[in-house]
Amino acid sequence: MVRHERMIAVIGDRETAIGFRLAGVRHTYEVGQDGVEIVRLLDKLVRDGTTFILINERLAAESHVRAMIREINENKSDVTPIIVEIPDKRGPTKEGATEIERLIKRAVGITLK
């Protein structure tokens, strides 16, 4: 029997990663603005079977990262991985809200306002 580890991973800036570590999340990754590094990390987390991935909105907004998140969401055959963009210490961005609205529309077939 194959056992899939269900885990939460956080990709963020230093403050975000520290906050989630303090909250008990074991898989936290501090990254800079390097889109290539983030894309590689997302790919690894998906291949490892990560169930829930939280990523800073500003990191997700980088074009390579945004494309990777959309590719993951469009090609998954199950509901996982769930990728949620979260605000950093500067607050939410418009792009993060738009991406969540897009996922909800895909899941339930209606747009929420």
- CATH 3.40.50.10580 for domain 8-108, yes or no, is yes
Residue-level pLDDT at 94 = 67
Any idea which residue has 């570590």 for tokens?
21
| Per-domain boundaries in the chain | 8-108
Phi then psi for residue 93, to 5 deg, are: -115, 160
Q: In tens digits, what is the pLDDT along the chain, a chain of 113 residues? A: 444 556 999 999 999 999 999 999 999 999 988 889 999 999 999 999 999 999 999 899 888 999 999 899 888 888 889 999 998 877 676 665 566 666 666 666 666 55
Point out which residues pair with 56 in neighbouring strands: 86
Rounded Cα distance, 101 and 47, in Å: 26
Residue count (the chain): 113
pLDDT for residue 29: 95
Q: What is the pLDDT, as a whole number, of residue 113?
A: 58
The identity of residue 14, as a single letter, is R
**pTM, whole model, 2 decimals?**
0.77
The Cα–Cα gap between 26 and 9 comes to 8
